[in-house]
Amino acid sequence: MKRSPHATALLAIFIALLLAAPVLLPEFHVTLLNYIGLYAIVTLGLVMLTGVGGLTSFGQAAFAGLGAYTTAYLTTMHSVSPWLTLPAGLLVTAIVALSLGLVTLRLSGHFLPLGTIAWGISLYYLFGNLAALGGHTGITGVPPLQILDFEIRSGRDFFYLIWAILLTLILATRNLLDSREGRAIRALKGGSVMAEAMGVNTPRSKIVVFAVAALYAAVSGWLYAHLQRFVNPTPFSLTQGIEYLFMAVVGGVSHVWGAILGAGLITVLKQWLQDWLPHLLGQSGNFEMIVFGLLMIVVLQRARDGVWPMLQRFWPQEVRRAHIEGVPRLARRSLPEPGSVLLEVSDASKRFGGLVANDRVSFRVRAGEIMALIGPNGAGKSTMFNGISGVDPLTSGRVSFRGQRVESLPARRIARLGMSRTFQHVRLLPAMSVIENVAIGAHLRGRKSFIAAACRADRDEDARLLHEAAAQIERCGLGDQMYEAAGTLPLGRQRLVEIARALAADPCLLLLDEPAAGLRYGEKQALAELLRRLRAEGIGILLVEHDMEFVMGLADRVVVMEFGRKLAAGLPEEIQRNPAVVEAYLGGVE
Amino acid sequence: MDVQIALLLGQDGVTNGAIYALLALALVLVFAVTRVIFIPQGEFVAFGALTLASLQAGKLPGTVWLLLAMGMAIGLIEGATAVRARRFHRLPLIILVNCGAPLLLAASLLAVSPAGLPLPVQVLLTLMLVVPLGPMLYRLAYQPVAEASVLALLIVSVAVHVTLTGIGLLFFGAEGSRTPAFTDASFTVGDVVLQGQTLLVIVASTLLIVALYLFFERTLYGKALRATAMNRTGARLMGISGDLAGLLSFTLAGAIGAFSGVLISPITTIYYDSGFLIGLKGFVGAIIGGLASYPAAAAGAVLVGLLEAYSSFWASAFKEVIVFTLIIPVLLWRSLKTRHGEEA
C-alpha cells in the first residue's frame, strides 16, 4: 500500500533529528537515547506480540539476556568475532523461543505469559549462578564492535548503529504487518476461529510472532553487551521484562511507533523519578516502580491504547489505497463438473454434554446447486455448519468433501480443499479495512512468507491478492466502502463483507450462514442475483436462512431441520406443502 | 544423603508445600471466579509476615497507611458516584466503611502497644490490617476493567504486583524479618525429630483447606462463587453480582495470603519482595492443576515444595532454576492433554 505524504514528511523530519542528535546533544542525552533505542527494539517485538498478535510475554528481558550472554561468552572466552556471535545469539534465542512457544502456544492465551514469567526467573538465576558466565558479577572485557579498522567505542558512534538497526526493524515490522502473513498475524487477536476457517495456520503464526519478538530482544541484548562492554544478570531480570511490557502498553501496544514512544517515556520518567523519589521519600530503592505500576493501572483502565493514538490525532489520517490497477488476476481453481456430488454428510451427530445438537443428519450438496438448510432457531443449523467446516468438529458421522473424508481434519485443511464459509455472528476484524479483511480470505492463494514480506519481496503477489479482494468486494456491491474500517459498516453490509471474504478464497463450495439477515429489500435482490451467478459458474452453495421468500425463490433443494434432526428434504414446492414442515416450522401458515 | 536427612528435607518440603498449596488454592479460586491471574498473591504473604513482625517489634506497620490510603481512595470514588447519582443517603455508610473503619483500626493500634499483646491477638490484628487490602485492591484495580480480556487483567496484575512490592520496600525497608516460632515443642517419632512449628503449619493449612471446602459446599456465598466460576453470565442472571463475587474471592485470597505469611514467617526470613517467589511457587502448583482443579493444584504445590527442598540439598544455587524450569514439562504435559487452544 502507498504511504501518505504527511507520514513520509514526518518520518523524514524524525530521521533528520536523529542524525543531528549526537552532534547537538551532550553526552548524557546521547547515552539516554542509546538506551531508549535499545529498549525500543525489545518493545517493538512486544508490540507485535501483544498489541498485534494478542499474546504476551514477561520474559523479553531474558531473551535479551540470551543475546547478550551468548556474545559476551563467545567473544571473551573463545575470541569469536562479534559479527559471528550475533547469528549465534539469534540461533540460541530462536531455539529457546520455538521450544517454549511449541510447549505453551497450544494452551489458552494466559499460559504463555505465565510460562515466560517462570522462564524469566529461571534464566535470571541461571545467569547468576553459572560459574562459566561469571555468576552475579557477570562477564567483563567484552570487546567493542569493529567495522574494518574502525572501532565503535563511543556512545555517539553507537547511537547511529542502534537507531539504524531500530529503524530498519520498524520498517521490516511494518512491511511484515502489511502483507499476507501480516494480516494473518493481525487476525490472531480475536479472530483465530475465522482465520483458521480461511486456511491460516494460526499456531504457526503465533509461534512465528513469538520467535520474532524474541529475536528482536536478542538483537538488543547483543548491542547492549557491546555498548556496555560487560554483562551481568540484573538487566535481564523479570523486573526488566515487566518494564518492557509497560513501555509497550504506555506507548501504544498496537502501533509500531508506540514502541519508541513508550521506551522514551518510561526511560525518561524513570531517570527523573530516580532523581527525585529518594529525596521525596527519604530513602533509596526502586520506588519508581510504584509510580510505573500505578501509571499502568490507570492506562489500562482509562486509555488502553496508550499514548501514540492520542498523538496520532494531531495529523490527518489519509486512506492508504492499494496499487491494484493493471495487476493480473489470480488463477482460478478448476471447478468440479456441475451436478457432481461436492459434499456428502452422513449420520452427522454433535453432542454438547447431554445436549444433542445434531442427531444423525445426512444430506448431499452438488456442484452448481443452491441447497438451503432451514429450521426454527436452535434446530442445529449453525452447529452443522461448524461441523462440516471443521470449526467445531462433529462427535460422530462422516463428512466427505470432493470425495475426501474431512470430518477429522482441522478447519484450515478443509479450507484448502476449496470450502469457504461465512459466520452467523459476523467475524470480521473491526479495526482493519474492508479490503484487508477480504484479503484474509485469499490467504491460501498466496505463498510468500514472513521474510519475503519483511523485505518487500512479496509486492507482486500481495497486489494480486488485494486485487482479488477488491474484485470480490465490487462483486458484492461494497466498492464504495473498500477502505473503510470493517467495524464501521452496518451489520447487513458486514455480512456482505463476509461473503466477499469467502469468495476471495476461490471456493467450489460456499457455506453461507444467514447471509441476508439485516439486508434491505434491494440488497437482498442483489445478493440473490450474485448467488445465482455463482451457481451458474458451477459453485455449490449451502445456505442457512430464515427469510422464506429469499430461500424459496433461490434454492434448488431444501433440507429442514428441527431439534437437531432432519425433518424433511426436497424441492422448495414440496417443502412448502409438506404438512410436517408446515406444522413444525411454518406454524400453520398457508 | 541418609534417611535422616531425606526425612528432614521431606519435612521441610511438606511444610513449604502446605503453604504453596494454600496459595495455589487461592490462585485457582480467584482465576475461576474473576479470570484474574492474581500475581500479587505473594505480596499478601510478605505483607502478612512483615506486619506481624512490625507489631511484635512494637512498630506501627506500614500496612496501616496503605489501608488508610486505599480506603480514602475508594471512599472518594464511591462517594463521587453516589453524589453524581444524587443518592446522598449512601454517603455516611460509604465514609464509615471505607474511611472510618481503617481510621479506627489505626487509632487503636496507636493507643495500645501491640508488642505486649498475646500472639493470637497480634495475628488477628495482622489479618485485620492485611485482609481488607484484598477486596480494596479488587475495587480499585480490577473492578473497573472486570470485563477485559484475561491478558489485560494479567497485565493489571503485574502492575499491581510491581506497585505493592515498591510500597513494601517503602514501608518495611530492605531488611528481612523473621518472627519467633509459635511453639518450641518438638516430638520424636522413631529417629526423626518433628518440629512443633512444622506440625502447626501443616495442621493449620489442612484446617484452612477443610474450611474452604465447607465454605464452598455448604454456604450460600460459597455456592454463589462456584456458580460465578462456572458461568458468569448465568450467575449474574440468577442475581449473583459479579462485583460481589469478585470482592468475596479477593477477600478469601487476601485472607489466605496473609495467613500464609503469618505461618511462614517463623520458618523463613521474609523480605519485602520474598512474597513474589513464594506466590509463584504456588502458581507452579496451580498450573500443574491446570488452574482449574483444586485437589490437583494442592498436590502440585506439595510437589513443588518437595522438589525445592531436595534440590536445595543437591544444587542449592540452582534451586529456583529447577523449580521454575519444572513448569516447562508441566506445560508440555498439559498441552498434550489439551486438544486445541481456544481464544482467551
DSSP helix, strand, coil percent of chain B (3-state; round to 5): 75, 5, 20
Residue of B nearest to A203 (CA): B341
- Per residue in B248-275, is it b (16+ CB within 10 Å) or e — as a string? bbbbbbbbbbbbbbbbbbbbeebbbbbb
Of the residues B163, B278, B342, the best mutation for testing chain A's interface (the one with the most A CB atoms within 10 Å of its CB) is B163
| Ramachandran sector of residue B86 (left: φ over 0; alpha: ψ -120 to 50; beta: rest) | left
For B3-58+113-180+188-337, the fitting CATH number among 1.10.1240, 3.30.230, 2.60.40, 1.10.3470 is 1.10.3470
Among the residues of A229-357, which ranges form H helices?
238-251, 256-281, 288-302, 308-312
- C-beta neighbour count of B49 within 10 angstroms: 33
Of the residues B321, B336, B339, the best mutation for testing chain A's interface (the one with the most A CB atoms within 10 Å of its CB) is B321
> pLDDT digit of tens for each residue in chain A (590 aa)?
445 667 788 889 999 999 998 889 999 999 999 999 999 999 999 999 998 888 888 999 999 999 999 999 999 999 999 999 999 999 999 999 998 888 877 776 678 888 888 888 888 999 999 888 988 889 998 998 888 778 888 888 899 999 999 999 999 999 999 999 999 999 998 888 999 999 999 989 999 999 999 999 999 999 999 999 999 999 999 999 999 999 999 999 889 999 999 999 999 999 999 888 888 887 877 888 899 999 999 999 988 888 898 888 887 666 677 777 778 888 888 888 888 999 999 999 999 888 889 999 999 999 999 999 998 888 889 999 999 999 999 999 999 999 999 999 999 999 999 999 999 899 999 989 999 999 999 999 998 888 899 888 888 899 999 999 999 999 998 989 999 999 999 988 999 999 999 999 999 999 999 998 888 998 899 999 999 999 999 999 999 998 888 999 999 999 999 888 998 899 988 888 888 888 776 565 44
CA distance A408 to A388: 10
- List pLDDT tens digits, range B315-336: 777 888 888 887 778 877 777 7
User: A327 forms bridges with which residues in the sheet?
Assistant: none
In degrees, rounded to 5, the angle at the alpha carbon of residue A212 between the alpha carbons of residues A209 and A217 is 130
Those residues whose C-beta lies under 8 Å from the C-beta of residue B12, and which sit 6 or more positions away, are B305, B309
- List pLDDT tens digits, range B93-115: 888 888 888 899 888 888 888 88
**Would the pLDDT of B216 be above 80?**
yes
Of A100, A119, A293, the CB nearest to B163: A293
Please, are residues B18 and B201 in contact by the beta-carbon 8 Å criterion? yes
The residue-averaged pLDDT of B118-143 equals: 94
On the 0-12 / 13-18 / 19+ scale of CB atoms within 10 A, B32 is middle
Helix axes B150-172, B274-288, angle to 10 degrees: 150
Residues 395-454 of A with CB under 8 A from B: none
Residues 298-327 of A with CB under 8 A from B: 300-301, 304
Those residues whose C-beta lies under 8 Å from the C-beta of residue A133, and which sit 6 or more positions away, are A69, A72, A73, A127, A139
Residue of B nearest to A284 (CA): B170
Selected residue with higher pLDDT from A588 and B338? B338
Predicted confidence at residue A60, as pLDDT, reads 94
Predicted confidence at residue A441, as pLDDT, reads 94
Residues 15-44 of B with CB under 8 A from A: 37, 39
Please, are residues A109 and A50 in contact by the beta-carbon 8 Å criterion? no
Residue ranges and CATH numbers for the domains of chain A are 5-240 (no CATH), 339-418+507-590 (3.40.50.300), 428-505 (no CATH)
Those residues whose C-beta lies under 8 Å from the C-beta of residue A295, and which sit 6 or more positions away, are A246, A250
Which residues on chain A are in Cβ contact (under 8 Å) with B163?
Answer: 289-290, 292-294, 297
Grid-cell match 512468507, residue found: A449
Return the C-alpha cell found at A384: 452443522
Please, are residues A247 and A259 in contact by the beta-carbon 8 Å criterion? yes
Of B145, B150, B163, the CB nearest to A290: B163
The residue-averaged pLDDT of B165-184 equals: 87
State whether residue B322 is helix, strand or coil. helix
Which residues on chain A are in Cβ contact (under 8 Å) with B166?
Answer: 285-290, 293
Predicted confidence at residue A333, as pLDDT, reads 85
- Pick the closest to residue A329 from A463, A142, A227 (CA basis): A463
- Pick the closest to residue A257 from A326, A315, A171, A136 (CA basis): A171
CA distance B143 to B146: 5
In degrees, rounded to 5, the angle at the alpha carbon of residue A84 between the alpha carbons of residues A83 and A90 is 100
Return the C-alpha cell found at A34: 542509546
Return the C-alpha cell found at A261: 514512544
Chains A, B: CB contacts within 8 A come to 153
**Residue B316 near chain A (CB below 8 Å):** no
Which residues on chain B are in Cβ contact (under 8 Å) with A125?
Answer: 317-318, 320-321, 324
CA distance A70 to A92: 8
Residue of A nearest to B38 (CA): A114
| Interchain proximity A110–B150, CB inside 8 Å | yes
CA distance A294 to chain B (A): 6
Question: ipTM higher than 0.95?
Answer: no
Read off the DSSP letter of residue A578: -
Predicted confidence at residue B343, as pLDDT, reads 39
Of B148, B166, B343, the CB nearest to A192: B343
**Residue A104 near chain B (CB below 8 Å):** yes
CA distance B138 to B131: 12
Residues 280-299 of B with CB under 8 A from A: 280, 283-284, 287, 291
Predicted confidence at residue B270, as pLDDT, reads 92
User: A420 forms bridges with which residues in the sheet?
Assistant: A510
Predicted confidence at residue B344, as pLDDT, reads 35
Residues 171-200 of B with CB under 8 A from A: 173-174
Of A58, A110, A290, the CB nearest to B167: A290
User: A405 forms bridges with which residues in the sheet?
Assistant: A400
Query: Whole-model pTM?
Result: 0.89
The residue-averaged pLDDT of B14-39 equals: 89
Of B165, B284, B341, the CB nearest to A107: B341
Residues 251-270 of B with CB under 8 A from A: none
Among the residues of chain B, which ranges form H helices?
3-34, 41-56, 63-84, 91-95, 101-111, 119-130, 133-137, 150-172, 196-218, 220-230, 232-237, 242-264, 274-288, 294-314, 319-325, 327-337
| Interchain proximity B335–A283, CB inside 8 Å | no
User: B150 forms bridges with which residues in the sheet?
Assistant: none
Which residues on chain A are in Cβ contact (under 8 Å) with B161?
Answer: 293
**Would the pLDDT of B191 be above 80?**
no
Residue of B nearest to A192 (CA): B343
User: B189 forms bridges with which residues in the sheet?
Assistant: B192
| Interchain proximity A104–B335, CB inside 8 Å | yes
Predicted confidence at residue A590, as pLDDT, reads 45
Residue type, B127: L
Of A107, A121, A290, the CB nearest to B334: A107
**Would the pLDDT of B256 be above 50?**
yes
In what helix (H) or strand (E) does residue B31 lie, and over which residues does it extend? helix B3-34
CA distance B177 to chain A (A): 18
Predicted confidence at residue A362, as pLDDT, reads 94
Grid-cell match 571473551, residue found: A76
CA distance A570 to chain B (A): 38
- C-beta neighbour count of A579 within 10 angstroms: 8
